[in-house]
Amino acid sequence: MLTNPSAPTSLAAGRIQHAGLRTKLMTAEQAAALIQPGWNVGMSGFTGAGYPKAVPLALAHQIEAAHARGDKFRIGLWTGASTAPELDGALAKVDGIDMRLPYQSDPTVRAQINSGHMQYVDIHLSHVAQFVWFGFLGHLNVAVIEVAGILPDGRLVPSTSVGNNKTWIDQADHVILEVNHWQNPGLEGMHDIYYGTALPPHRQPIMMTELASTSANPTCAATRPRSSPWSRPTPPTATASSPRPTPTRRPLPGTSSTFCSTKWPRAACPRRCCRCNRAWATSPTPCWRG
């Protein structure tokens, strides 16, 4: 159990302070066993920060064992952004991901997407939460969230990222909390999580008009009784490395900013925009190809 004299006393006193949730402690293997084939799983993480590490690895081992028995076991994997080898890489290597969104940077995942073996929804990161609330992406069965601690009233202290955690916790049928003792307890109070968003057409502006404005909400809301936290030290955050791009693909005609000079003589270019003709520099209809 990590402690920090300079950290808030509420979290430094113990990572899981909610009495009811403390009775639900389990191992990573037990938590992973709750996840069923075909489920959509929302995991925390935004790039190499705040993603669960032990539960995905345990899930990968269980998927590998299921495949060895001849059973089908793949999941839909939703995150805030890309993650790292302990999550994306481990699950992809055992053929455990059926559909991935909204972004990834793992080479194994990339190869499976490009081959058509893995479905992929390439969606802007800022649109994911709203699409989940609308139900566009299907049903979210379980959330797996890394936290730095759980406060006495059940509120969750995020670790080093938030991403879509709020939405995953609100929408999922089940919640697994990976309590990471490596994370500094001083993270308590560092976040600002807004809970006033409504779906269109009822959405209102967020009234933050000054640099010091906050929503005064540094934690994720208390979880319902469905949560199943487990706790054990997990390794520090790792970040996946991406290979250097290779110049094997050329832009299709009409999609490159060099279209005029490579496809058409500039004088004969059929596009009437400021790139081709200075007379069109003030055109109210810029060329859509650029």
* Residue 234: partners with Cβ closer than 8 Å, 6 or more residues away: 52, 53, 54, 146, 178, 180, 181, 182
Q: How many domains does the chain have?
A: 2
- 73 & 133 share domain: yes
- Whether 276 and 137 map to the same domain: the answer is no
In a domain, 247, yes or no: no
- Owning domain of residue 266: 254-290
Residue at 111 is within a domain: yes
Same domain, 222 and 269: no
Residue 234's Cβ-count burial label (10 Å; 0-12, 13-18, 19+) is buried
Residues 224 and 258 in one domain: no
Q: What is the average per-residue pLDDT within 243-271?
A: 41
Query: pLDDT tens for residues 25-78?
Result: 899 999 999 999 999 999 999 988 999 999 999 999 999 999 999 999 999 999
Owner of token pair 């979210």: 140
Q: How large a percentage of the chain has pLDDT more than 70?
A: 72
pLDDT > 60? residue 287: no
Question: Using CA atoms, how far apart are residues 280 and 160, in angstroms rounded to an integer?
Answer: 49
For residue 113, the domain's CATH number is: 3.40.1080.10
Indicate whether 271 and 205 sit together in one domain. Answer: no
Which of 13-17, 91-95, 188-192, 213-217 has the highest mean predicted lDDT (pLDDT)?
Answer: 91-95
Question: Per the domain annotation, does 40 fall within a domain?
Answer: yes
Q: Are residues 178 and 276 in the same domain?
A: no
- Assess if residue 1 is contained within a domain: no
